[in-house]
Amino acid sequence: MYKRTTLPNGLRIVTAELPHTRSATVSIYVGAGSRYERDEEAGLSHFLEHMLFKGASRRPTAKEISEAIESVGGMHNAATDREVTVYYAKVPDTAALETIDILADMVRDPVMDAAELEKERHVILEELASIEDSPPEMAGILIDETLWPHQPLGRNVGGTPESVRTLPLAAVNRYLKAQYVPSNLVLVAAGNVHHNEVAEAAAHWMGDMPAVVPGPWFPVQPRNGSARVAVRSKDTEQAHVCIAYPGLSLHHPDRYAVDLLSTVLGEGMSSRLFLELREERALVYDVHSYPSEYRDTGSFTVYAGCDPEKARVTVEVALAETARLLEALPDKEFAKGKQMARGRIRLRMEDTRSVAGWVGSQELLTDEILTVDEVVARIDAVTLDDVLRVGRELLQPSLATLAAVGPFDDGHPFEGLI
């Protein structure tokens, strides 16, 4: 299903040939993100991501980069997370090789103009300010800070207004040279493409990049008695509450059991949490769960948005429903969860951008690419006992952290819950 070539300088090129499509998604995955940043560099990976759209050697302005993609009907963007930064463009298949030229130019030879950096600094500050208008996002950031305090993994990927205001151009350039090196890059093309042509284009545009050892990422640190409940006071109509537990890493053999646990507990309108908190008790509009998996750790999070007056009972019911599931999970419900997990994975593979994401993230973070059938087989191998065992190990109230954003003066409404 996938083909891989590694250039002498360490650049990995992976393709998923889908000849039935009329599109192609070209992506470049980079080992860069908040886990690679010191405290004083908070937001550096995200800042650099923005700067790469401001112009490159063969298209020296933002307009020229955008026009090169959009003139053929394509779309492009980027995203920065804790362990990965990705640049991607989805274009008609006839423009795939030209798109390799465009993205390669951006990541290896951006203009990095000082005046443009100051402009983008203001843009990023506005992006951070927009989070203040999104209490669910604030709650998601706050729960990560609470679960992983005082370390890069728990930090907002975008940094803080204070750090963004002070990041100098020299630091951005140093980070570019340290992280955007061939052995830390994966170029992916998915769609109606031919591997040999993609590899040839990648070698032409990136094969002469010097081989450099990239900078390291910072491993997870113990919580060491930090507070388990955090509240952010904000004048909102709803309270936004997250409960999070330490989870498993990308490499842990039980990660698929965790995924199934989340599917049954809080994913979709037929999940335990949705049926109990919304359909039966009308406590919430939105409630869901999600696992997050990283190189050396992970998390399991439950989110709910509710009336502030009902925030405590919402948490109580969510905890009770979680405990009830771990007491007994009927075979029929477990089988439904498996089928749902299988189906969602298969549906993702209908889009070239999703296929590129499937391939690129695995190659960069795990150095192997599992096919859809291989992942489905691992899901099928999970037993009911596996799910209950893992759930009982992870979802213990004594291990939980809680974060809330809403019209609260302090954490008193949640006292004694975890």
pLDDT tens digits for range 284-317: 999 999 999 999 999 999 999 999 999 999 999 9
Tell me the pLDDT tens digit for each residue of 63-84: 999 999 999 999 999 999 999 9
Tell me the pLDDT tens digit for each residue of 363-381: 999 999 999 999 999 999 9
Q: Are strands 12-17 and 185-191 parallel, antiparallel or unpaired?
A: parallel
DSSP designation for 276: I
Tell me the pLDDT tens digit for each residue of 147-159: 999 999 999 999 9
Share of the chain above pLDDT 70, in %: 100
CATH code of 364's domain: 3.30.830.10
Q: Tell whether 219 is covered by a domain.
A: no
Q: Tell whether 221 is covered by a domain.
A: no
Nearest to 85 by CA among 25, 13, 32: 32
Q: Are 194 and 373 in contact (CB under 8 A)?
A: no
DSSP designation for 119: H
Q: Tell whether 217 is covered by a domain.
A: no
d(CA 30, CA 40): 21
Task: Tell me the whole-structure pTM to 2 decimals.
Answer: 0.96
Work out the burial of residue 129: count CB atoms within 10 Å of its CB; fewer than 13 is exposed, 13-18 middle, 19 or more buried.
exposed
Give the residue-averaged pLDDT of 4-19: 98
Mean pLDDT of the chain, nearest integer: 97
d(CA 366, CA 349): 20
At residue 26 the predicted structure's pLDDT band, cuts being 50, 70 and 90, is very high
Output the pLDDT for position 276.
98
d(CA 303, CA 241): 6
Q: Tell whether 309 is covered by a domain.
A: yes
Output the pLDDT for position 340.
97
Coil, strand or helix at 57? coil
For the chain, what is the domain count? 2
The token pair at 373 is: 């059938």
Cβ contacts of 154 within 8 Å, gap of 6 or more? 144, 145, 146, 147, 148
pLDDT higher than threshold 90 for residue 411: no
Among the candidates 157, 191, 206, a domain finishes at 206
Element (H, E) at 191: strand 185-191
Do 101 and 161 lie in one domain? The reply is yes
At residue 410 the predicted structure's pLDDT band, cuts being 50, 70 and 90, is confident
DSSP designation for 217: P
Do 113 and 183 lie in one domain? The reply is yes
Do 201 and 314 lie in one domain? The reply is no
Give the residue-averaged pLDDT of 393-408: 96
Give the residue-averaged pLDDT of 238-260: 97
249: Cα separation from own chain's centroid? 14
The token pair at 151 is: 């370390």
Do 183 and 324 lie in one domain? The reply is no
Q: Is 49 among the residues known to form the active site?
A: yes
Q: Tell whether 35 is covered by a domain.
A: yes
Domain span at residue 384? 229-414
Q: How distant, in Å, are the alpha carbons of 154, 161, 189, 291 from that of 130?
A: 19, 12, 33, 25
Do 248 and 195 lie in one domain? The reply is no
Do 160 and 89 lie in one domain? The reply is yes
Do 126 and 178 lie in one domain? The reply is yes
Tell me the pLDDT tens digit for each residue of 315-359: 999 999 999 999 999 999 999 999 999 999 999 898 999 999 999
The token pair at 154 is: 């728990």
Do 176 and 238 lie in one domain? The reply is no
Q: Tell whether 215 is covered by a domain.
A: no
Q: Are 294 and 229 in contact (CB under 8 A)?
A: no
Count of C-beta atoms within a 10 Å radius of residue 64: 13
Give the residue-averaged pLDDT of 94-113: 97
Do 192 and 160 lie in one domain? The reply is yes
At residue 214 the predicted structure's pLDDT band, cuts being 50, 70 and 90, is very high
Q: Tell whether 157 is covered by a domain.
A: yes
Q: Are 94 and 18 in contact (CB under 8 A)?
A: no
Q: Are 294 and 249 in contact (CB under 8 A)?
A: yes
- How is the beta sheet containing 401-406 ordered, strand by strand? 229-233, 401-406, 239-246, 298-306, 284-293
d(CA 166, CA 39): 12
Count of C-beta atoms within a 10 Å radius of residue 255: 19
Do 263 and 142 lie in one domain? The reply is no
Coil, strand or helix at 176? helix
Strand boundaries in 31-112, DSSP class E: 75-80, 85-92
Do 169 and 286 lie in one domain? The reply is no
Q: 């937001």: which residue's tokens?
A: 43
Q: Are 31 and 84 in contact (CB under 8 A)?
A: yes
Q: Tell whether 354 is covered by a domain.
A: yes
Among the candidates 171, 206, 241, a domain finishes at 206
The catalytic position among 37, 41, 49, 276 is 49
Nearest to 289 by CA among 235, 345, 244: 244
Give the residue-averaged pLDDT of 96-118: 97
d(CA 323, CA 353): 38
Give the residue-averaged pLDDT of 185-189: 98
Give the residue-averaged pLDDT of 187-204: 98
Do 105 and 190 lie in one domain? The reply is yes
Half-sphere exposure of 31 (CA within 13 A, CB side): 25
At residue 1 the predicted structure's pLDDT band, cuts being 50, 70 and 90, is confident
Output the pLDDT for position 404.
97
Count of C-beta atoms within a 10 Å radius of residue 331: 8
Q: 């040999």: which residue's tokens?
A: 196
